[in-house]
Structure 1
Amino acid sequence: MSQMKLPRAGLLLWMCVMNRVQDTATAAAALSITHCVIRQYVDITCYWETTDQHLNINSYRLQINKSSCESKHSFFQVGFCNTAGSDCSVQPIDSALHCFCADVLASTRTGSIRSPPYFFSGVNAVKLRPPQITNLTPTKTRSGCLQVTWKMVESFLQNEKIYIRLQIEYTTHNQTRSQTTQAFSNETLELCDLHPGSKYTVRLRAQDSRAHAHWSSWTSLDTTTAEKAPSAAPRLWRLIHSVEEAGRRRLILVWKPVSWPEVNGVVLSYSATCRSDLDSSQWTCGTMDASRRSCILNISDDPCHCSLTATNSAGTSPPAHISIPAHTHAEELPPPQAISVTRLDDTRLVVEWTAALSQSESGFVVQWASVPYTEPTSLDWEHINETARSFIVSGLLPEVPYNLSVVSLFGPLAGSGMSVIAFTREGAPSVGPNITMLQTSSSGVVLKWDPVPLEKLHGFIQSYTILYSINGKDKSEKVSAHDEQKSLSGLMEGTYNICVMAHTAVGGATGPCQQVVVGLEDVQVIPILLCALLLCFLILIIPVCMRVRIKQCLCPTVPDPSKSSLSVWSNARMCQHKLPSLSAMNSIISMGQTTIFQDYGEKDYVPVQVFTYHTVPQDSNETNISTSAVTHQDSTLPAAQAFPTHLLNHSYTKPGQVTPAGYKEDPQPSSDHLLFESFFTNKRNQADLCDYIHVSQSHEPVITTIDEYRTLDLNECPHFRQVLPEDTST
């Protein structure tokens, strides 16, 4: 029995050892080095991978040895490194002209695992450092060329330079071109056949041809080629408004910039001009900034043609032309026969159309803009060739209405357009309708509402719902989307809250509510009564506010004669002189209050100097005269030649008789005027000045100066005397 157990124990031990060896071999096969890279005179980096993720490896240890490439039996340690990742670098190294052996030791919970040894030649694993670009400029002698100058960072033996290669890539607008050349054959390279005025990114990297799997990292630099004049014209379109006053039309020119690569640089400005086809009239927008995309002109209703050019630093593009028909011919060319819009997603719509019958279109223009259309820059458009019958409009927003139209082109002319409004996705309205009560009665109301603007509906209106409530009871009536007025009848007496809700396919929104009283027949009388009361109030308040002015008009202020500067008239009678005949009497003129004034007379009349005086009214039974001087005329002259005067204020009286002459009260004569008096207006043979009583006078003479004049002295008129009253004020 014991002899039988011994072979069994040996077999079990042998099976355990073999299982252990097999597990170790399996684990070792799961860990392997994929490749190693040498950076000359810097380090060696090796990469490995583990196929069994259940090994629970804690860390790795990379060991690198070197030997001669002829014999792989004697090794010299280069170095080692520890890491928890899948790569590790050993540094430094003196040269790559050796053969190397690398292995990785992985530590697990149950022990360690070593990868199979990885042998490689150093020159086949070298990765060069990136070259340096020392100069990158446009070629002055050749347009569309760049000159690149570079240098290598490492130094190489002369016999090794033949293995170094250089790869150049130059990219513009996602277009990449590359070429490979010998690095040391020529360290200056010219890149030609490039687009003028384009920005290029030039990249360089180097490789040892013996290590074909390892390129250096890229080094890059940006530059722009020399510009040329644009080789293509901008894309031009127009919007024509109807004829306004004076036969003018509003023309909006819109354009898209010259596309790359035809632009050949950076556009600095645009220039737009329109010229009449019938005369020499022209309209221009002048030179516009490069950011402009539209131009507005007021042109005549005659046919004209417009042109647009783009300018960069090198020159001007060919002009873009468009013809504008006369307003009488604007509708002669037909639009497409039909148009439809289909939603693709939240940002795209597909527009489809059917061309007009028996027409030969040269192309189409698809236009689209959000509603409401605010400015020309919000309009987008695209030219389509004559064979196309659909176009996908992208970059749209959901719940925003868009006006899409298709216009047929017939050579240089354009037909009328056909348009449709569409949404990429509809939404619920943001506001509801505003209502107005048109009429109320004892049992109903008539209301009207304003449609909600399309941009606030966020969709197409489907229907309206009228909501009204009284005493907590809610009722509603649904009306079609085309109705904007509704009569509610059969209502009970009371106060109603009424509002209108607008519905789209997604939802609805309610507008502001109004309170309406139903059942009072005299509801309409209330505003009339209020207006009548307001009118009565205004009629009463206006006289109260203007009472002072009304009093002044009805009861003017009468001047107080007692406050006059001449309150006492002289009682002296000038009885020494008898008045002459009427012709002479007309020459006696009394002066009103004035300053000293030199007057002139007609021919053969002698003027005198006039002095200031004031008159003071007296009682009717008294006779007073106060004057400063009188004028004298030759009594032989006719009365028709007396001084003409404008009557301002005059009245004289004689005991028992009053002869008025345009009496007008003058409470305070102005000292700025010369006032005359005419004593008599009735024809008399003789009159005694002393028999007249002065009441008031105020005249203004109208005298034409003809001859020279002089002033009479008192000694020349002894028959005239003046008696002034004594000054009693002092």
Structure 2
Amino acid sequence: MDPEWLLLILIGNMSISFALEGLLGPPYPPSKPECHIPCDEICGVDIHCNWNHRFDPRVSTNYSLHWETAHNVVDHVNTGTSLSGLIGREHFSMYSELPVWVQAESKYGSAKSQVVVFNTGNLVKPSPPIFTRSQQDPLEISWKSICNLQSHLSLGSCDVRFRNEVEQFWREEEIGGQVNYEFSGPVRPGLVYEFQVRCSCATGLKSNWSATHKIMSFETAPTGQIDVWKDCGVSATNNDCVMTWKKIPISQAHGQILGYEVKLSSNHNMTELVNISIAEPRGLLVCDEHQCYLNSSLKSVSSASVLAYNAHGATMHSYLAIPEPGKARGEDFINVTMNTENLTISWDPSFWLPDAKSIDEYVVQYKQAGCHLGKGFDWIRVNKSCTSVTFTGQFEKYRPYQVSLFTVRANQQSHHISSVIGYSSHGIPAKVPLFKVNSIAATHATLLWEPVPLDMQNGLILYYKIGIHGKTHGKTVYNVSASPQDGNKTLELLNLSANQEYEVWIQAVTAAGPGANVTTSFITTQPEHLELKSKSHLLAFLLLPAIICCLLILFSFHKGADKACLCINEKVPDPYNSTIFKMTKYRMNDTIPWIWIPINEPPPTMSILEVVEIQCPVCEQDCLSEDQTRPAAPSKRCTCRTNRYSGDEYREMVDSEEEKSAGGGAGRDDCWSSSEEEQDMSGYEQHFMPTAVDILNA
């Protein structure tokens, strides 16, 4: 290390030492010593002294015990860091005065306590008395002292102090030289009374107080009622509640409570009476130091009551307040302030109590989130004139506590006013469990997310911060309210650019700061008119081959058909029973819907064609007249087939039923006379293929 740095460190340490020495100085003087000669089963001969001292733990302090004999000889004994020491029997004379003091020394100086002068003959201090007997009614105690057991000693005076278990301070009486005491004050039944005794011998000091002796006073039947309520958790419904009550106070129990009797009435007019012994709860009763709850759901229970009993009687029935139907008001009606030791709730009744006279009392409760039913739960009943209450206890950091306010009427009907979540301190929240893009369009998108679960918020979530970033959009941040705390939330992003990629993120924010980010991305769609244009181009491309095929077929029809009439025994499909061409006609006429038919549309349903057998003899002469302007009269040797399947019928596509209603197609018995354009058409084309005129008419 650099020598200059070493020199600086040395100078700094010396400066600190000098500063501490000037600041601390010599130690404080010790307290004046207290000295005695202990007398237990065998009395001692040495003098024991002890003292107190306020010292600085940064400074080591040593002590010494000093005394001056009758011959003005000063002596001492070093005790080190101990706050007690003894003076040997050889250093003092009995029944003489002995000045004693204590010296404290440190490296910063020394200090001396006050000097105390003792009479060595009055330093005997007996051990505390021992209780030998007690009785309950009346309250009486007896004891023995070492002064009665030592032959050279006799009992001096005794003091008694007492209190019952609900009292904080002792009451003290001096009773003189006796070894028994009968309590003369008013006795409260069923309470535990505590007694302590101290005595002195004929000469000397009084002993220390004895160990505490407890006596249960006589028992009577308990009085009053049990404070009963219901624990429904943080987010549970009334069907999920359990019946819970506070243990009856000692001042009302008047003895040891042996058990509880619970009466449950169902919605089906059935009543169940349950007797639960504290000694054998059978899993039905769960108790801690202050509360008990019935380990059974209140589902389908219309009313409930409970009483406590001891060996001499029982309390009155306490009825559970049944909630009224109705929705609780918002969180703005009550205010919560809390830290790790106190929870204070205040409210303004003017918001909801136009008929305040009907209110009997308020019930204010809190429930720690995440605790099972019957745990982490407490409540207070207050008069209707009160507008605030305070709970004291140990409230965990970053844990949510749901505080609820109820009103209770004289008929034991309760109404839930409002609930709010409070925290003793706030921390960083967990990340959002679900964040996604719910819908996407060309210029807008909708985001959806789940709120952070209550037991993972670590504090009250003030809002959700959402950011969006795109190449042409820049960066934008939104602060979205976290109220209400439950239910999925959405945010619509507007004024976006089409066909652009965006990145979005979200984080929950408490008073301690934001939580971790959750990020996702999406791409906006094309504008709607561009989509239609691209679809039309695609459809035209797909229809192009079909159009070419149709043109080729028209070109082939244009060459003409056979002029001869060939009559044969054949099976001919009946086009009058088919609807496919009619469907095609409708679609071709309605051009717009036909163009925008989706590509994935299923093919049209084909009609079943009727097959008709026609018996026709072979012609031995032409069926047409020589001038081909009118049909020739058929000879006896030639019967010309009545042509129901002429070109006109194909072009008109008359349905079979329409033909029947029109009289069977009168005037259509002429033979098919082909034009010159139809001279080259085969029989198949004449029967089954439409002509160019057919397609144009369609």
Tell me, yes or no, if structure 1 residue 340 matches structure 2 residue 331. Answer: no
Mapped pair 1:215 → 2:206 = yes
How far did residue 130 of structure 1 move? 1.9
Alpha-carbon spacing, 1:474–1:210, altered in 2? closer, same or farther (3 Å):
farther
CA contact (8 A) 2:429 2:509 kept: yes
Note the alpha carbon deviations across 1:519-540, whole angstroms, 9 max, x for none: 6899x9xxxxxxxxxxxxxxxx
SS in 1 for 2:515: strand
The equivalent residue for 1:660 is none
> What code does the residue aligned with 2:418 have?
S
Q: Distance in 2 between matches of 1:452 and 1:189?
A: 66
Q: Which residue of 2 aligns with 1:62?
A: 67
1:135 to 132, 139, 145: 132
Measure, in 2, the Cα distance between the counterparts of 1:450 and 1:279. Answer: 40
Q: 1:478 corresponds to which letter in structure 2?
A: Y
1:437 corresponds in structure 2 to 437
SS at match of 2:420: strand
**Cα displacement (A) at 1:451:** 2.5
Q: 1:40-80, CA deviations, whole angstroms, 9 ceiling, x for partnerless residues?
A: 652234679999x9xx9996653444xxxxxxxxx799x96
Pairing 1:39-54 to 2, within 5 Å after superposition: 39=38, 41-45=44-48
**Contact persistence 2:285–2:295 (CA under 8 A):** no
Q: Distance in 1 between matches of 2:90 and 2:258?
A: 57
- Would you say the 8 A contact 1:432–1:502 is kept in 2? yes
- For residues 452-475 of structure 1, what are the alpha-carbon distances to aligned partners after superposition, in whole Å with 9 as ceiling and x for unaligned? 334433444444333345689983
Larger radius of gyration: 1
Q: What is aligned with 2:227?
A: 235
Deviations 1:75-100 (A, max 9, x none): 799x9652256864233489997233
Structure 2 CA distance for partners of 1:521 and 1:285, relative to 1, 3 Å: farther
User: Cα gap change, 1:156/1:178 in structure 2, threshold over 3 Å: closer, same or farther?
Assistant: farther
> Which of 210, 216, 220 is 1:225 aligned to?
216
> Hey, what does 1:411 align to over in structure 2?
410
- TM-aligned CA distance change 1:91 to 1:372, over 3 Å: closer
Q: Distance in 1 between matches of 2:232 and 2:134?
A: 48
Q: SS at 1:484's partner residue?
A: strand
Which of residues 223, 246, 253 is equivalent to 2:243?
Answer: 253
Show CA shifts across 1:487-518 (max 9, x none). 35534756554332233343222453334345
Distance 1:342 1:115, change over 3 A: closer
Q: Distance in 2 between matches of 1:363 and 1:388?
A: 9
- Structural mapping, 1:485-634, within 5 Å: 485-487=491-493, 489-491=495-497, 496-518=502-524
Q: How many matched pairs? A: 459
Instruction: Please identify which structure carries the higher helix content.
Output: 2
- The answer on whether the counterparts of 1:44 and 1:93 sit within 8 Å (CA) in structure 2 is no
Mapping for residues 85-484 of structure 1, pairs under 5 Å: 88-92=85-89, 98-102=95-99, 120-123=118-121, 125-139=122-136, 142=137, 145-153=139-147, 155=149, 161=154, 163-169=156-162, 172-173=165-166, 175-182=168-175, 184-185=177-178, 187-191=179-183, 198=191, 201-208=194-201, 214-225=205-216, 228=219, 229-238=221-230, 252-275=242-265, 281-287=270-276, 288-289=284-285, 291=287, 292-294=292-294, 296=296, 304=303, 306-312=304-310, 314-322=311-319, 330-331=324-325, 339-343=333-337, 345-346=339-340, 347-354=342-349, 356-360=353-357, 361-371=359-369, 375-395=373-393, 396-424=395-423, 425-432=425-432, 434-441=434-441, 445-468=445-468, 475-481=475-481, 484=490
Any idea what the Cα deviations from partners look like across 1:106-148, whole Å, max 9, x if unmatched? 8999xx999999765445x334212331435443xx27x3533
Distance in 2, Cα, partners of 1:219 & 1:479: 68
Cα pair 2:473 2:497 within 8 Å, conserved: no
Amino acid at match of 2:449: W
Q: Secondary structure at the match of 1:438?
A: strand
TM-score, normalised on structure 2? 0.53
- Specify the code of the residue in structure 1 equivalent to 2:512: V
2-structure distance, mates of 1:438, 1:61? 89
Cα deviation, residue 317, structure 1: 2.9
The whole-number CA distance in structure 2 between the counterparts of 1:338 and 1:490 is: 37
Quote the Cα distance in structure 1 between the aligned partners of 2:315 and 2:335: 36
Q: Which runs of 5+ in 1 are unaligned?
A: 1-29, 66-74, 242-247, 525-730
Q: Residue type of the partner of 1:368?
A: Y
Q: Is the 8 A contact 1:104 1:115 kept in 2?
A: yes
* Contact 2:241/2:298 (<8 A) preserved: yes
1:406 maps to amino acid? L
Deviation, 1:300, is 6.0
Secondary structure, aligned partner of 2:252: coil
1:282 is matched by which residue type in structure 2? T
Give the whole-Å Cα distance in 2 for the aligned partners of 1:299 and 1:233.
24
* 1:330-370 deviation digits (Å, cap 9, x = unpaired): 35999999942142545422323326234323222112223
2:253 partner SS: coil
TM-aligned CA deviation for residue 262 of structure 1:
2.4
User: What is the CA distance between 1:181 and its match in structure 2?
Assistant: 4.5
1:407 Cα shift? 2.1
Q: Tell me if the contact between 1:336 and 1:408 (Cα under 8 Å) persists in the aligned partners.
A: no
What is the rounded CA distance, in whole Å, between the counterparts of 1:370 and 1:50 in structure 2? 45
3-state DSSP of counterpart to 2:126:
coil
The answer on whether the counterparts of 2:286 and 2:294 sit within 8 Å (CA) in structure 1 is no
Contact 2:466 2:480 in 1 (8 A): no
What letter corresponds to residue 234 of structure 1 in structure 2?
A: I
- Contact persistence 1:168–1:203 (CA under 8 A): yes
Q: TM-score, normalised by structure 1?
A: 0.51
Using the alignment, how far apart are the partners of 2:513 and 2:415 within structure 1? 36
Which deviates the most, 333-342 or 512-521?
A: 333-342
Q: Where does residue 575 of structure 1 map in the other structure?
A: none
Q: Output the aligned Cα RMSD.
A: 5.2
Kindly tell me: are residues 285 and 513 of structure 1, through their superposed partners in 2, closer, same or farther at Cα, counting changes over 3 Å? farther
CA distance in 2, matches of 1:343, 1:31: 46
* 1:364 partner amino acid: Y
Question: In structure 1, what is the Cα distance between the partners aligned to 2:222 and 2:480?
Answer: 57
Q: Aligned equivalents of 1:33 and 1:502: distance in 2?
A: 63
Counterpart amino acid of 1:188?
N
Contact 1:37 1:44 in 2 (8 A): yes
- 1:265-302 deviation per Cα after TM superposition (whole angstroms, max 9, x unaligned): 554432210358x9973134442436242454557686
Matching residue of 1:573: none
Distance 1:461 1:341 in 2: 16
User: Structure 1's 92 and 195: CA in aligned 2 closer, same or farther, altered over 3 A?
Assistant: farther
Q: Displacement, 1:216? A: 1.6
In structure 2, distance between residues paired with 1:195 and 1:240: 37
The one-letter code matched in structure 2 to 1:508 is P
Q: Is the alpha carbon distance of 1:445 and 1:196 closer, same or farther for their aligned partners in structure 2, counting shifts above 3 Å?
A: same
Partner of 2:626: none
Q: Secondary structure at the match of 1:513?
A: strand
Q: 1:309 to 1:504 in 2, by over 3 A?
A: same
Can you list the C-alpha shifts for 1:400-427, whole angstroms capped at 9, x where unaligned? 3333232222223234121131424444
